Amino acid sequence: MKHLAQPGGRRRRHQAGLFTVAAGSALAISAVLAGGGAPAQAAPRVPAVHYSFRTLNNANDPTFNQLLGINDSGIIAGYFGSGAQGHPNKGYTLLPGYHQSDYRNQNYPHSKQTQVTGLNNEGIEVGFFSTMNTKSGNNNNFGYYFDGRHFHKVDFPTSNPASPPVDQLLGVNDQGIAVGFYIDAKGNSHGYLYNTRTHRYSTENPHVTGETSVTPTGINDDNSVTGFFVNGKGETHGFLLRSKSPHLFVLDVPGSDSTTPFGVNKAGEVVGVYTVGSKNFGFTWTRFGGYHTVKDPGGPDQTFVNGINSAGDLVGFYVGGNGNTNGFRAKP
Protein backbone atom coordinates (compact mmCIF):
# COMPACT_ATOMS: atom_id res chain seq x y z
CA MET A 1 0.00 0.00 0.00
CA LYS A 2 -0.15 0.69 -0.50
CA HIS A 3 -1.14 4.59 0.76
CA LEU A 4 -1.09 7.04 -2.05
CA ALA A 5 2.03 9.00 -1.75
CA GLN A 6 2.34 12.12 0.23
CA PRO A 7 5.55 14.02 -0.11
CA GLY A 8 7.17 10.81 0.84
CA GLY A 9 4.55 8.12 0.85
CA ARG A 10 2.38 5.90 -1.27
CA ARG A 11 -1.36 5.36 -1.46
CA ARG A 12 -1.83 8.25 0.79
CA ARG A 13 0.84 6.67 2.92
CA HIS A 14 0.56 8.85 5.94
CA GLN A 15 3.75 10.87 6.20
CA ALA A 16 5.93 10.35 3.25
CA GLY A 17 6.31 10.04 -0.44
CA LEU A 18 6.57 11.96 -3.61
CA PHE A 19 3.09 13.42 -3.63
CA THR A 20 0.01 13.96 -1.50
CA VAL A 21 -2.92 12.18 -3.07
CA ALA A 22 -6.05 14.12 -3.88
CA ALA A 23 -9.26 13.21 -2.12
CA GLY A 24 -10.62 11.18 -4.90
CA SER A 25 -9.59 8.90 -7.63
CA ALA A 26 -10.41 6.58 -10.23
CA LEU A 27 -11.76 3.43 -11.62
CA ALA A 28 -15.30 4.45 -11.01
CA ILE A 29 -17.76 2.25 -9.22
CA SER A 30 -21.37 2.99 -10.01
CA ALA A 31 -22.61 0.79 -7.19
CA VAL A 32 -20.99 3.13 -4.69
CA LEU A 33 -22.81 6.15 -6.05
CA ALA A 34 -26.08 4.28 -6.13
CA GLY A 35 -25.63 2.97 -2.61
CA GLY A 36 -25.52 -0.54 -4.00
CA GLY A 37 -22.33 -1.63 -2.27
CA ALA A 38 -23.01 -4.11 0.50
CA PRO A 39 -21.45 -3.19 3.84
CA ALA A 40 -18.83 -5.77 4.69
CA GLN A 41 -19.96 -7.35 7.93
CA ALA A 42 -18.67 -10.62 9.27
CA ALA A 43 -20.71 -13.69 10.13
CA PRO A 44 -19.66 -15.88 11.70
CA ARG A 45 -16.68 -14.16 13.32
CA VAL A 46 -13.37 -16.00 13.13
CA PRO A 47 -10.81 -15.69 15.96
CA ALA A 48 -8.08 -13.12 15.37
CA VAL A 49 -4.73 -14.27 14.02
CA HIS A 50 -1.72 -13.54 16.22
CA TYR A 51 1.48 -12.32 14.58
CA SER A 52 5.17 -12.21 15.34
CA PHE A 53 6.60 -8.83 14.33
CA ARG A 54 10.06 -8.04 13.03
CA THR A 55 11.34 -4.52 12.37
CA LEU A 56 13.17 -4.24 9.05
CA ASN A 57 15.06 -1.04 8.25
CA ASN A 58 17.63 -0.38 5.56
CA ALA A 59 20.75 0.93 7.30
CA ASN A 60 21.14 3.58 4.60
CA ASP A 61 18.42 5.47 6.48
CA PRO A 62 17.24 3.76 9.66
CA THR A 63 14.99 6.75 10.48
CA PHE A 64 12.55 6.25 7.62
CA ASN A 65 11.52 3.00 5.93
CA GLN A 66 8.20 1.85 4.51
CA LEU A 67 7.51 -1.71 3.33
CA LEU A 68 4.78 -1.81 0.69
CA GLY A 69 4.44 -5.30 -0.74
CA ILE A 70 5.45 -8.94 -0.26
CA ASN A 71 5.23 -11.90 -2.64
CA ASP A 72 4.87 -15.61 -1.92
CA SER A 73 8.64 -16.11 -1.84
CA GLY A 74 8.89 -13.55 0.93
CA ILE A 75 10.58 -10.89 -1.21
CA ILE A 76 9.58 -7.44 0.05
CA ALA A 77 9.16 -4.14 -1.81
CA GLY A 78 9.83 -0.83 -0.11
CA TYR A 79 11.92 2.31 0.13
CA PHE A 80 13.88 4.50 2.54
CA GLY A 81 14.06 8.28 2.83
CA SER A 82 11.25 10.62 3.88
CA GLY A 83 11.02 12.45 0.56
CA ALA A 84 11.90 15.79 2.15
CA GLN A 85 14.35 17.87 0.15
CA GLY A 86 17.79 16.31 0.54
CA HIS A 87 16.26 13.07 1.84
CA PRO A 88 14.80 11.50 -1.32
CA ASN A 89 12.84 8.25 -1.51
CA LYS A 90 15.11 5.42 -2.61
CA GLY A 91 13.51 2.13 -3.66
CA TYR A 92 14.60 -1.38 -2.84
CA THR A 93 13.62 -4.99 -2.65
CA LEU A 94 14.53 -7.11 0.37
CA LEU A 95 15.32 -10.79 -0.06
CA PRO A 96 14.41 -13.48 2.52
CA GLY A 97 17.02 -13.59 5.23
CA TYR A 98 16.23 -9.94 5.79
CA HIS A 99 19.75 -8.83 6.62
CA GLN A 100 21.40 -5.64 5.38
CA SER A 101 23.19 -7.67 2.69
CA ASP A 102 19.79 -8.79 1.36
CA TYR A 103 18.68 -5.30 0.26
CA ARG A 104 18.76 -4.67 -3.48
CA ASN A 105 18.55 -1.10 -4.74
CA GLN A 106 15.77 -0.57 -7.30
CA ASN A 107 15.74 2.98 -8.62
CA TYR A 108 14.43 4.14 -11.97
CA PRO A 109 17.39 5.27 -14.11
CA HIS A 110 18.25 8.97 -13.73
CA SER A 111 15.44 9.52 -11.23
CA LYS A 112 15.81 11.55 -8.07
CA GLN A 113 13.24 9.51 -6.16
CA THR A 114 11.77 6.02 -6.52
CA GLN A 115 9.34 3.86 -4.57
CA VAL A 116 8.88 0.14 -5.19
CA THR A 117 5.22 -0.33 -4.32
CA GLY A 118 4.46 -3.92 -5.31
CA LEU A 119 5.74 -7.13 -6.87
CA ASN A 120 4.32 -10.43 -8.08
CA ASN A 121 5.58 -14.02 -8.14
CA GLU A 122 6.75 -13.80 -11.76
CA GLY A 123 9.56 -11.26 -11.32
CA ILE A 124 7.59 -8.09 -12.09
CA GLU A 125 7.94 -5.08 -9.81
CA VAL A 126 5.90 -1.87 -10.00
CA GLY A 127 6.17 1.57 -8.49
CA PHE A 128 6.68 5.19 -9.38
CA PHE A 129 9.53 7.66 -9.68
CA SER A 130 10.19 11.39 -9.75
CA THR A 131 12.78 13.55 -11.43
CA MET A 132 12.27 16.11 -8.66
CA ASN A 133 12.95 16.46 -4.91
CA THR A 134 11.58 19.89 -4.08
CA LYS A 135 11.25 21.68 -0.77
CA SER A 136 7.49 22.00 -1.26
CA GLY A 137 7.06 18.28 -1.98
CA ASN A 138 5.16 19.16 -5.16
CA ASN A 139 7.03 16.67 -7.33
CA ASN A 140 6.22 14.99 -10.61
CA ASN A 141 5.44 11.25 -10.48
CA PHE A 142 5.52 8.62 -13.21
CA GLY A 143 4.59 4.97 -12.93
CA TYR A 144 6.93 2.17 -13.98
CA TYR A 145 7.38 -1.57 -14.02
CA PHE A 146 10.61 -3.56 -13.87
CA ASP A 147 10.80 -6.93 -15.63
CA GLY A 148 13.99 -8.13 -13.96
CA ARG A 149 16.26 -6.57 -16.56
CA HIS A 150 14.74 -3.32 -17.77
CA PHE A 151 12.67 -0.48 -16.38
CA HIS A 152 9.60 0.60 -18.36
CA LYS A 153 7.88 3.94 -17.85
CA VAL A 154 4.09 3.83 -17.46
CA ASP A 155 2.33 7.16 -17.95
CA PHE A 156 -1.41 7.12 -18.69
CA PRO A 157 -2.04 9.01 -21.96
CA THR A 158 -4.24 11.80 -20.67
CA SER A 159 -4.73 15.13 -22.44
CA ASN A 160 -5.15 17.08 -19.19
CA PRO A 161 -2.52 16.00 -16.67
CA ALA A 162 -1.81 17.75 -13.41
CA SER A 163 1.11 20.16 -13.29
CA PRO A 164 3.51 18.68 -12.41
CA PRO A 165 2.12 15.36 -13.69
CA VAL A 166 1.30 12.61 -11.20
CA ASP A 167 0.99 8.94 -12.16
CA GLN A 168 1.61 5.92 -9.91
CA LEU A 169 1.39 2.13 -10.13
CA LEU A 170 0.50 0.56 -6.78
CA GLY A 171 0.17 -3.20 -7.28
CA VAL A 172 0.50 -6.03 -9.78
CA ASN A 173 -0.82 -9.60 -10.00
CA ASP A 174 0.75 -12.76 -11.46
CA GLN A 175 -0.89 -12.12 -14.84
CA GLY A 176 1.07 -8.88 -15.05
CA ILE A 177 -1.99 -6.67 -14.59
CA ALA A 178 -1.02 -3.57 -12.65
CA VAL A 179 -3.34 -1.11 -10.94
CA GLY A 180 -2.66 2.60 -10.61
CA PHE A 181 -3.96 6.12 -11.01
CA TYR A 182 -3.21 9.53 -12.48
CA ILE A 183 -4.32 13.02 -11.47
CA ASP A 184 -5.84 15.49 -13.92
CA ALA A 185 -5.45 19.26 -14.19
CA LYS A 186 -8.34 19.83 -11.78
CA GLY A 187 -6.76 17.68 -9.10
CA ASN A 188 -9.07 14.71 -9.64
CA SER A 189 -7.62 11.20 -9.63
CA HIS A 190 -8.51 8.50 -12.13
CA GLY A 191 -7.68 4.83 -11.72
CA TYR A 192 -6.63 2.46 -14.47
CA LEU A 193 -5.34 -1.02 -15.15
CA TYR A 194 -2.14 -1.57 -17.14
CA ASN A 195 -1.15 -4.84 -18.79
CA THR A 196 2.62 -5.23 -18.56
CA ARG A 197 2.54 -7.94 -21.24
CA THR A 198 0.51 -6.13 -23.90
CA HIS A 199 1.36 -2.57 -22.77
CA ARG A 200 -2.31 -1.61 -22.91
CA TYR A 201 -4.21 0.67 -20.57
CA SER A 202 -7.77 0.17 -19.43
CA THR A 203 -10.02 2.44 -17.40
CA GLU A 204 -12.66 -0.24 -17.03
CA ASN A 205 -12.48 -3.43 -15.08
CA PRO A 206 -15.10 -5.81 -16.56
CA HIS A 207 -17.30 -5.13 -13.54
CA VAL A 208 -16.37 -1.49 -12.90
CA THR A 209 -18.60 1.06 -14.59
CA GLY A 210 -19.72 4.63 -14.21
CA GLU A 211 -17.57 7.36 -12.77
CA THR A 212 -16.93 8.57 -9.23
CA SER A 213 -14.17 9.50 -6.82
CA VAL A 214 -12.38 6.19 -6.33
CA THR A 215 -8.75 5.16 -5.83
CA PRO A 216 -7.78 1.54 -6.60
CA THR A 217 -4.85 0.35 -4.52
CA GLY A 218 -4.35 -3.39 -5.02
CA ILE A 219 -5.21 -6.34 -7.24
CA ASN A 220 -5.05 -10.13 -6.80
CA ASP A 221 -4.83 -13.00 -9.27
CA ASP A 222 -8.62 -13.14 -9.61
CA ASN A 223 -8.51 -9.48 -10.71
CA SER A 224 -10.37 -8.44 -7.58
CA VAL A 225 -9.48 -4.84 -6.75
CA THR A 226 -9.13 -3.04 -3.42
CA GLY A 227 -9.23 0.68 -2.90
CA PHE A 228 -11.12 3.53 -1.34
CA PHE A 229 -13.51 6.30 -2.33
CA VAL A 230 -14.33 9.70 -0.88
CA ASN A 231 -18.00 10.67 -0.85
CA GLY A 232 -19.62 14.10 -1.07
CA LYS A 233 -19.26 14.56 2.68
CA GLY A 234 -15.52 14.05 2.49
CA GLU A 235 -15.77 10.65 4.19
CA THR A 236 -13.32 7.94 3.19
CA HIS A 237 -14.63 4.40 2.72
CA GLY A 238 -12.77 1.31 1.60
CA PHE A 239 -13.91 -1.31 -0.86
CA LEU A 240 -13.21 -4.71 -2.32
CA LEU A 241 -14.58 -5.28 -5.79
CA ARG A 242 -14.69 -9.02 -6.49
CA SER A 243 -14.36 -9.78 -10.17
CA LYS A 244 -15.98 -13.22 -10.08
CA SER A 245 -19.32 -12.34 -8.47
CA PRO A 246 -19.22 -9.42 -9.30
CA HIS A 247 -19.81 -7.94 -5.89
CA LEU A 248 -18.77 -4.72 -4.22
CA PHE A 249 -18.02 -4.87 -0.50
CA VAL A 250 -17.87 -1.50 1.24
CA LEU A 251 -15.22 -1.76 3.96
CA ASP A 252 -15.69 0.42 7.04
CA VAL A 253 -14.08 -0.71 10.26
CA PRO A 254 -16.73 -0.10 12.95
CA GLY A 255 -16.01 3.06 14.93
CA SER A 256 -13.38 4.35 12.50
CA ASP A 257 -13.21 7.80 10.96
CA SER A 258 -11.90 6.38 7.69
CA THR A 259 -10.90 3.00 6.25
CA THR A 260 -8.34 2.61 3.46
CA PRO A 261 -7.51 -0.87 2.11
CA PHE A 262 -4.17 -1.30 0.37
CA GLY A 263 -3.96 -4.91 -0.76
CA VAL A 264 -5.65 -8.27 -1.17
CA ASN A 265 -4.23 -11.79 -1.51
CA LYS A 266 -5.39 -14.82 -3.47
CA ALA A 267 -7.72 -15.91 -0.67
CA GLY A 268 -9.48 -12.55 -0.67
CA GLU A 269 -7.95 -11.33 2.58
CA VAL A 270 -7.79 -7.54 2.54
CA VAL A 271 -5.29 -5.41 4.47
CA GLY A 272 -5.09 -1.71 5.11
CA VAL A 273 -5.36 1.07 7.65
CA TYR A 274 -8.19 2.64 9.61
CA THR A 275 -8.10 5.93 11.48
CA VAL A 276 -9.65 6.96 14.79
CA GLY A 277 -8.85 10.56 15.61
CA SER A 278 -5.08 10.95 15.33
CA LYS A 279 -4.40 7.23 15.67
CA ASN A 280 -3.87 4.80 12.80
CA PHE A 281 -4.25 1.04 13.06
CA GLY A 282 -3.60 -1.75 10.61
CA PHE A 283 -6.39 -4.18 9.84
CA THR A 284 -7.20 -7.40 8.05
CA TRP A 285 -10.60 -8.33 6.69
CA THR A 286 -12.08 -11.48 5.21
CA ARG A 287 -15.59 -12.12 4.01
CA PHE A 288 -16.36 -14.60 6.77
CA GLY A 289 -13.83 -13.50 9.38
CA GLY A 290 -14.59 -9.80 9.53
CA TYR A 291 -12.20 -7.12 10.71
CA HIS A 292 -9.19 -7.61 12.96
CA THR A 293 -6.85 -4.89 14.21
CA VAL A 294 -3.09 -5.20 13.68
CA LYS A 295 -0.72 -3.24 15.95
CA ASP A 296 3.05 -3.41 15.85
CA PRO A 297 4.31 -3.38 19.47
CA GLY A 298 6.82 -0.68 18.51
CA GLY A 299 4.10 1.71 17.38
CA PRO A 300 0.71 0.42 18.47
CA ASP A 301 -1.09 3.71 17.78
CA GLN A 302 0.58 4.32 14.40
CA THR A 303 0.64 1.04 12.50
CA PHE A 304 0.06 0.81 8.74
CA VAL A 305 -0.41 -2.50 6.90
CA ASN A 306 0.29 -2.26 3.18
CA GLY A 307 0.81 -5.73 1.75
CA ILE A 308 -0.09 -9.40 2.22
CA ASN A 309 0.96 -12.62 0.48
CA SER A 310 -0.74 -16.00 0.09
CA ALA A 311 0.60 -17.25 3.44
CA GLY A 312 -0.92 -14.28 5.24
CA ASP A 313 2.44 -12.59 5.91
CA LEU A 314 1.98 -8.84 6.32
CA VAL A 315 4.29 -5.91 5.61
CA GLY A 316 3.93 -2.26 6.48
CA PHE A 317 5.40 0.33 8.78
CA TYR A 318 4.93 1.91 12.19
CA VAL A 319 5.93 5.19 13.77
CA GLY A 320 7.82 4.64 17.00
CA GLY A 321 8.05 6.79 20.10
CA ASN A 322 11.15 8.54 18.75
CA GLY A 323 9.27 9.63 15.63
CA ASN A 324 11.09 7.28 13.26
CA THR A 325 9.17 5.43 10.59
CA ASN A 326 10.10 1.75 10.66
CA GLY A 327 9.31 -1.07 8.27
CA PHE A 328 7.96 -4.34 9.63
CA ARG A 329 7.05 -7.85 8.60
CA ALA A 330 4.39 -9.69 10.59
CA LYS A 331 4.21 -13.47 10.34
CA PRO A 332 1.09 -15.37 11.46
Whether 20 is covered by a domain: the verdict is: no
Give me the pLDDT at residue 255, please.
Answer: 96
Whether 169 is covered by a domain: the verdict is: yes
CB 146 within 8 A of CB 106: yes
For the stretch 167-195, pLDDT in tens is 999 999 999 999 999 988 988 778 899 99
Alpha helices in 231-299 (DSSP H): none
- What is the per-residue DSSP string for 50-73? P-EEEE---TT-TTBEEEEEE-TT
Which strands sit side by side in the sheet containing 90-94, from one edge to the other? 65-70, 76-80, 90-94, 103-105
Whether 126 is covered by a domain: the verdict is: yes
Task: Tell me the CATH number at 45.
Answer: 2.120.10.30
Residue 310 in this model has a pLDDT that exceeds 70: yes
Average pLDDT over residues 111-138: 98
CA-to-CA separations, 211 to 166, 230, 250, 258, 286, in angstroms, rounded: 20, 13, 17, 21, 27
Whether 289 is covered by a domain: the verdict is: yes
For the stretch 126-155, pLDDT in tens is 999 999 999 999 999 999 999 999 999 999
Whether 13 is covered by a domain: the verdict is: no
Residue 307 in this model has a pLDDT that exceeds 90: yes
Whether 14 is covered by a domain: the verdict is: no
Whether 16 is covered by a domain: the verdict is: no
Structural domain range at position 104: 30-331
Number of domains in the chain: 1
Interatomic CA distance for residues 81 and 67, integer angstroms: 12
Whether 7 is covered by a domain: the verdict is: no
